[in-house]
Amino acid sequence: MKAVFSYIIVLLSAAAYMVLFDRNAGGIMTVFLIVVPLVSVFLTLFSRKRVKLSIESDDDLVRKNKECTIKVCVTKNTILPLPVISFEFRATEHFRKPDYDVYRFSMSENRNLDFDIKVFPVICGKASVKIGHMYITDYLGIFRFKMPFPQTEHEIDIIPEIHEITDCSEILRSISDTLPDNDDDETETTAVYGRAAFPGYGYRNYVPGDSLKKVNWKLSSKKNELYVRMDESAGITLPKVILDLSAPENGIGKHHEISDIGLITEGALSILDMCVRNGIECTFICPGRDEVIAEDVVSREDIERIACEIIKHLDTGNRLPDLSSAPGSKYSDMNIVCTLGIYDRLAEEAGNSVLSGNHVKFVIPEYLYKDDSIPVPELWFLEENWQLSRTV
């Protein structure tokens, strides 16, 4: 706007000079000051429709706390050089704030221009970067026009980190004590059988439906029968690690912070890792966009695969987790619910599950626990140093 105001002042000065002093010289200056900007504006308006901007990244799946590169690609289909084009670069809260918000460039005879913008992801989740508020300035730098295409956006999935939960003996003992056992299997072998995978594995005969990963092929070849490791009894449901992103229906605190969702997601995966490292196989459950996602977890590789895939399908809506037993199940379920808040509707669901003979343990980041008046069966705090401490 300042440039336009200055241009008008100069144009009026030339016109005044023409009227008051020298009609010929003043007329030439006035015509020049009118014609040249008009030509500049015409060429600028012609060029702005022949430019395209796009953004892409080297990898759409990146790791947290590792710098990644966003590439801005500019193409033009005209031989005319481009004046200055500016745009704003924006990234979601998943990234550290960029060093620059506004970028400017121009192009000569080259028809393609690529330049890189470095971003640093600090929070896991489905992130995005976008360029918008694009303007082109005419060749004289007087007038500015909005580019005739919409905001361009590119999504990037940031993989959650899996942390080692330290001092986990207390929660492992709590999990082991509430896991259902199958007394019938004790007659099949005299070997040691421990659900928490404390030293000493027993073996039983293979039952159709058992995972082939659990078959001890060396022992089976000696006995000429299939034997399965007994850290999981036949037909017993696995403990469930449930990622809960639901919120109260009253709308208060309905939208969780991106950083909180990233924290509890990493917390749930870290609890899975803690269980698997100690021989407790689990089922991981989280809300998907179309349906609830359930995955059996038996190894570290399963957790890493889930960490890469979960961000693509995770739904942060208001779906309440199902804590009831499967229809026809004769065993109690053990649910570890990793949540961002304890509220009445969720506590009621947990209470009904306990009355049905199931076990429910809540895990919540310590700083998010606001209301201690809501009764829960069992509550663990996820602390900043990735420790779990029991409160209820």
Q: Is the pLDDT of residue 209 over 60?
A: no
CA separation, residue 121 to residues 80, 189, 266, 304, 312 (Å): 38, 51, 15, 18, 16
Q: What residue has token string 């950083």? A: 259
Contact by Cβ (8 Å): 281, 298? yes
Q: What is the pLDDT of residue 364?
A: 94
Which pLDDT band holds residue 102 (cuts at 50, 70, 90)?
Answer: very high
Look up residue 56 and give its two tokens: 């892409």
**Percent of all residues in the chain with a pLDDT value above 70, rounded to a whole number:** 85
Q: Is residue 314 situated within a structural domain?
A: yes
CA separation, residue 138 to residues 35, 57, 107, 151 (Å): 14, 30, 13, 21
Q: Is the pLDDT of residue 389 over 80?
A: yes
Q: Model confidence over 303-327: pLDDT tens digits?
A: 999 999 988 888 877 778 888 877 7
Q: Is residue 322 situated within a structural domain?
A: yes
Q: What is the pLDDT of residue 49?
A: 87
Residues 257 and 345 both lie in one domain: yes
Q: Read off the pLDDT of each residue in 112-121 and give the average, rounded to a whole number.
A: 92
Q: What is the pLDDT of residue 190?
A: 34
Residues 249 and 343 both lie in one domain: yes
Q: Read off the pLDDT of each residue in 111-136 and give the average, rounded to a whole number.
A: 92
Which one, of 196, 271, 183, lies nearest residue 235 by Cα?
Answer: 183
On the 0-12 / 13-18 / 19+ scale of CB atoms within 10 A, 268 is buried
Among 17-26, 46-55, 183-192, the least confident range: 183-192
Name the more confident of 206 and 279: 279
Residues 89 and 132 both lie in one domain: yes
Q: Is residue 257 situated within a structural domain?
A: yes
CA separation, residue 128 to residues 155, 158, 168, 248, 289 (Å): 4, 10, 36, 27, 18
pTM above 0.85, yes or no: no
Tally of domains within the chain: 3
CATH number for 317: 3.40.50
Q: Is residue 100 situated within a structural domain?
A: yes
Which pLDDT band holds residue 235 (cuts at 50, 70, 90)?
Answer: very low
Residues 321 and 246 both lie in one domain: yes
Residues 126 and 205 both lie in one domain: no
Dihedral over Cα of 221, 224, 225, 231: its sign: negative
Q: What is the pLDDT of residue 127?
A: 93
Look up residue 125 and give its two tokens: 């989740």
Q: Is the pLDDT of residue 351 over 80?
A: yes
Q: Read off the pLDDT of each residue in 331-357 and give the average, rounded to a whole number.
A: 88
Average pLDDT over the chain, rounded to whole? Answer: 82
Residues 59 and 115 both lie in one domain: yes
Q: What end-to-end distance do the CA atoms of the chain give, in Å? A: 64
Task: Identify the DSSP state of 320.
Answer: P
The domain in which residue 152 lies consists of 50-158
Residues in the chain: 392
Residues 209 and 289 both lie in one domain: no
Q: Read off the pLDDT of each residue in 146-158 and give the average, rounded to a whole number.
A: 90
CATH number for 73: 2.60.40.10
Q: Model confidence over 56-89: pLDDT tens digits?
A: 988 889 999 999 999 999 999 888 888 999 999 9
Q: What is the pLDDT of residue 121?
A: 95
Which pLDDT band holds residue 174 (cuts at 50, 70, 90)?
Answer: confident
Residues 212 and 313 both lie in one domain: no
Which one, of 166, 170, 225, lies nearest residue 196 by Cα?
Answer: 170
Q: What is the pLDDT of residue 330?
A: 67
Q: What is the pLDDT of residue 151?
A: 87
